[in-house]
Structure 1
Amino acid sequence: MSHANAVLTPRTRLRLARLIIHDGWTCAAAAKMFMVSPRTAAKWASRYRTEGPAGMADRTSRPRTSPTRTPPVVVRRIVALRWRHRLGPVQIAGRLGVPASTVHAVLVRCRINRLSRIDRATGEPLRRYEHDHPGSLIHVDVTKFGNIPDGGGWRYVGQQQGDRNKATTALRTGRTDRGNPRIGTAFVHTVIDDHSRVAYAEICADEKAATAIGVLRRAGAWFADRGITVERVLSDNGSAYRSHAWAQACAELGIKHKRTRPYRPQTNGKIERFHRTLGDGWAYARFYDSTEQRNAALPGWLHFYNHHRAHSALGGQPPITRLTNLPGHHS
């Protein structure tokens, strides 16, 4: 690829060389016409004479040999220290006796100069993936939020007032167990499309297989209304997703089921990250006077997330923009 400020492109070089070789122009005359030096014109004419049109292409400026390049054995030791011990350039330089600038250059070249690109658990480079079209894979999971007592929870009213509100609400709902007030848990079943990050969520009373299957069916219909045909579903190894009923429901819907490797939540990382966004943006974002008030706010927040919230993994665009030919998706 030619330099952005290059005077001659491969096509222009060919025109210049042909004027000199075929039309008998002098190098000085051709150089004046194309506003380059006679030496440059002579170079392209000579290359055209020996190599033909193929010689007009750009060539790498990399030298044939690099005597001062970091030896491969040192590169391997730098990478090993980075992966296994997550050391910075200065610490690695101190151990290996090489300049920190050299270590940094090696880390940049190997694309491990940022620790965010290295898996904390294994030390291996992160392997990110994204399916190429909506519906190719959806992630499903369940996240839990404690219900909010009447009058607000401890996060906003303080621990003492929160405990009193909890006791009052438990007494009203009849959930006091041996003097221990219980106000229940909200099980939020979440579904997110791998390619577009468009999300669907429901608040349920449990995380049993029948409930998860109902969410999957309704989510599939919701995605279908938006032109998405679900092909695969990825879940963790929860009991609901290991049940025969779940496998049968996936078969009926024509969906291939995949499960993550045990103790590797990173495999389902997109929905795990969505849960954090869900908590920060909806569950704990503001004061709620009751669980019902928080539940009522979920549909509005989901619309904001899908249609208006800028997503860093999508170049600052909301998820809905990845669904093509969808009328009114900017509303």
Structure 2
Amino acid sequence: MGRMIGKQSLVFDKPPYIIEGASIVGQKEGEGPLGKLFDVVEQNPMLGQDSWEKAESLLQKEAIQKVLFKSNINKEDIRYIFAGDLLGQLIASTFGILEFEIPFFGLYGACSTIGEALGIAAITVEGGNADNVIAIASSHFASAERQFRFPLAYGNQRPYAATWTVTGAGAVIIGTKKGFAKITGITTGKIVDYGVKDAQNMGACMAPAAADVIYRHFKDFGTTPQDYDKIITGDLGVVGKTILFDLLNEKGYDISKVHMDCGIEMFDAGMQDTHAGGSGCGCAATVLTSYVFKQLRKGAYKKILFIPTGALMSPVSFNEGNSVPGIAHLVQIESC
């Protein structure tokens, strides 16, 4: 059974396995540095639907179909789905998984949602409450822009610190039968608010939460950056990355030699005009289920920390002048 360790962490005595992953992305993501690693690259941003939101739901549906196919597991053998997205009341997840008729836990951690989903999924499987579960998260550039920022037709100029919401969905099957990797521990993040109000600079909003949970993990597990092949954040981008390094250096930890950020890796910022990098629930989820899983499979990574990050804002909170608190959830993954 999972054991509490330190102040915020769990260590799993019988680690649940990562059996399979699947990634579905849009055209821009497919044109980026990781393009050849995704399972499916959709060329039509509407995916044949009549709204951006329906297109995002279809991303989730396709990701689940793909991960079931790749794992040779039937949907009837999935006990629960832990899913989330950025849209109000999780409508992308709701309509995306509707026809699978699998018990559903809807989660919201902003862009950290896949980390939250993996953590709760691992607790559920390791506790003997399910044999197989799916963790999934999605985002869509246009549906996020409609909800959080300006209409696309407005043509506003994006500041350097802004990130580009990834169109994509990443799905993971976690179960009791041996897979290519295992989740050996988690450190659940706290809400951290440094008072940043610039919603266009989400890296600055999220970096303090990432630093906090990484520091807490080191303390709870008694480890250092040198104990990991990679420490992978979600979508801090180039601005948030610098802040993360500064905050951890103040606490005596230098992660620069082993750090990777999914938002930075997703796009070629110069060629694709994505400014600070990628973001959205689909960013960390698709990089994890493509590039990172491939590295774990071939043994290039033996032990990693995966820390997707989220900016906890809504259109209402932003319009009322509130700050943008951050959250980050850490998952410790080891290859088998």
TM-score (norm 2): 0.28
Higher relative contact order, chain-length normalized (CA < 8 Å, sep 6+): 2
Looking at secondary structure, tell me which structure has more strand per residue: 2
Q: Select the structure that is richer in helix.
A: 1
